[in-house]
A and B are shown apart, each in its own frame.
Chain A
Amino acid sequence: MSLFTRNALIALVLAGTIIGTVIYAVTYLNNARIAELGAIEDQLSIETLSLDTQFSLLEAAPCDSATSSATLTGELSDLGDRLAYAEGQLGKDNEQVVRLKKQYSLLEIRDYLITKKLAAACGTKPVTVLYFYSNTGDCADCDRAGYALSYLHTTYPNLRVYSFDYTLDLGALKTLIAVAKVNGPLPAFVVNGKHSYGFTSLEDLEKQFPKGALATSTTAMR
């Protein structure tokens, strides 16, 4: 075997080993991401169930308990950011991503329902936004709308934003879409029951909110 042939073969093995190592490292990292998402979801699932149970146990006087002030929206929002990043890394068709998105959507729906129940029982007026998007390429403005809502949520922590992938094959989500009567073009927003479709600008989106609803955390505490 000539020196060239020998070196060319060794180089092939070496290049293959390096690429294999890189693929292993990236896969390991992605699996760690998925595991972290799963762990966060499990934790949130327990907390949601706990909240739900507390609410049921204290049904007679729910507003006197700690449940009235409990909120999972912060954690949900962080989980949503991480899930969106993982989806960007692994692809929207990745089985684990789809599974986690379904779990996440269920958590959101449960939190939304608890929020509504608490509001009805305690007479509070939380501002809730149901946001429906699609990332299958048929919603040009969804990305911008998502950023706008993230910004609004960061700026106004009391705002409760629930994002849903409209195309996700999940029974509970389909029911929510039917109950909420979302049937227009995406992105779609349901702000405290009021529907709006499409996204033009942050200012236009803000107009959809009830007057005085967008208070900063500082103002809200007064």
Chain B
Amino acid sequence: MIALIMAWGSDVYLYPFLFIALYFESFFLVTFLSKPARMRRTDTPAPLAEDAPPVAIVVPCWNEETTVAGTVESLLALEYPQEKLAIILVNDGSTDGTRAAMDRFSGHPQITIIHKENGGKFTAMNIGIEQARDARFIGFLDADSFVAPDSLREIVASFDGPDTAAVTASMSIHEPHTIFQRMQYAEYSLAITLRHVFASVNGLYVTPGPFSFYRRSIFAELGVFRHAHLAEDMEMAMRIQRAGLTIGNAIRARVYTKGPPSLRTLLKQRVRWTTGFLRNVCFDYRDLIGNRKNQVLGFFILPFAIAAMGGGIFLFFYSIVKFTERSLHTLSLLQTVPLSYMFSWHPFSWFYLPITGVALLGVVSMTSALVWMTVGKRLSKTPGTLAPNVVLFFLLYGIIAPIWLIRSVSDVVRGTHTAWR
């Protein structure tokens, strides 16, 4: 075993990346402990007043025949005065049984059903906005997601000032089955804390499709949704940030979504998200980077997000080169001496413990991620088990994420556009 350890040396080139990651994590911790974030997670929302604001929820659907009914039923179960809650289902030219699935709810007093030609998700959302003339807040829910009964009350309570243009919810993966869904479960738990912390300093640059709400007036002020490189939720959030408004987060507003079950569908989804991010940030909204009006976003979050993508790709290739190099080296040693000698066990000695700066900083980073996942799950009261999913996250994410990052950068550089699905 000692022979094997000695064959694998240490890597000093990883230090710059580990430092950047550590600095990000430190900033994150300090911001988590700062007063704005503390207040947001400890404040209990006031009981819903009798004059609860009118709310509309738009559900854009495209070929969601199997899930749309569950989505609508979860909306109907929301703890909110029925006369104040309108649900607008928009069928964006589905070619499967979505029309029939939606029409099951026709005649329901809270539900409006619209069938239209296929024009893209943003067109379905905009028709919903047109329809929701009486609402003060308009929310959107993807037709493969559903919500917890108290989530809308949490969302409405989080519109705590006139500058709050939008509020996001805490998303999690519903009943993960495949290894890729389990990996996403851990990832989403981490994202819950990230969103909570960055919302406390107005650092969000995306208002995700599942259950993000907008003050209706901002559509009149800033315009409705656009194609936005198939990232309309990201583009709208950046438009809000550019206007100097605020995006909040209701950490206890739980929304459950079905994560892509296979590697192929996961990669397709993430390439769409990442290319949308790159095209919006690097071209349409590049003025947000270095923007003094919102320093957290302009000097920290967006630059770090871009650096993290570059770092992820570099580390991926670096790891492949190193792994290949060391594997070939180990292979040559295995051809030299018997396998049993390479793996023979020697008495334990602290002397050979592979404790290096890279290893320790890696442990710090991984522990930090684990803590934030746990915090996210607990604060949002998300059901499910984290432990086995975290293991899959640590095993798979570093291998899979670089694939969609590389593909996305390649698509943006070559001008390739992908379809929604």
Name A148's contact: one of B337, B353, B355 (CB within 8 Å).
B337
Which residues of chain A from 114 to 149 have a CB within 8 Å of any chain B CB? Answer: 143-144, 147-148
Some 9 contacts from A to B, beta carbons below 8 A apart, are A3-B201, A4-B299, A11-B29, A15-B23, A15-B25, A19-B19, A81-B2, A144-B336, A147-B333
Return chain A residues, CB-CB under 8 Å to B29. 11, 14
B118 close to A (CB within 8 Å)? no
The CA of A17 and the CA of B19, in the complex, are separated in Å by: 11
Question: B interface vs A, CB < 8 Å?
Answer: 2-3, 5-6, 9-10, 19, 22-23, 25-31, 34, 36, 201, 295-296, 299-300, 329, 332-333, 336-338, 341, 344, 351-353, 355-357, 360-361, 364
Contact B364 A22 (CB under 8 A): yes
The CA of A89 and the CA of B359, in the complex, are separated in Å by: 13
Contact B26 A15 (CB under 8 A): yes
Beyond the given pairs A19-B361, A151-B337, 17 more chain A to chain B contacts, judged by CB atoms under 8 angstroms and listed by A's residue number, are A3-B201, A4-B296, A7-B27, A7-B31, A8-B27, A10-B30, A11-B26, A11-B27, A12-B23, A12-B26, A18-B361, A23-B357, A33-B351, A85-B351, A88-B9, A147-B3, A148-B336
Contact A4 B201 (CB under 8 A): yes
Return chain A residues, CB-CB under 8 Å to B296. 4
The CA of A44 and the CA of B155, in the complex, are separated in Å by: 73
Return chain A residues, CB-CB under 8 Å to B10. 88-89
Return chain B residues, CB-CB under 8 Å to A23. 357
Contact A26 B357 (CB under 8 A): yes
Contact A11 B6 (CB under 8 A): no
Q: What's the interface size class on A, roughly? A: 35 or more
Return chain A residues, CB-CB under 8 Å to B36. 3
Contact A144 B332 (CB under 8 A): yes
The CA of A150 and the CA of B2, in the complex, are separated in Å by: 11
The CA of A4 and the CA of B351, in the complex, are separated in Å by: 44
Q: How far is the CB of A203 from chain B (nearest CB, A)?
A: 10
Q: How far is the CB of A156 from chain B (nearest CB, A)?
A: 13
Contact A82 B364 (CB under 8 A): no
A98 close to B (CB within 8 Å)? no
The CA of A36 and the CA of B352, in the complex, are separated in Å by: 12
A215 close to B (CB within 8 Å)? no
Smallest Cβ-Cβ distance to A150: which chain B residue? B3
Name A36's contact: one of B2, B34, B332, B351 (CB within 8 Å).
B351
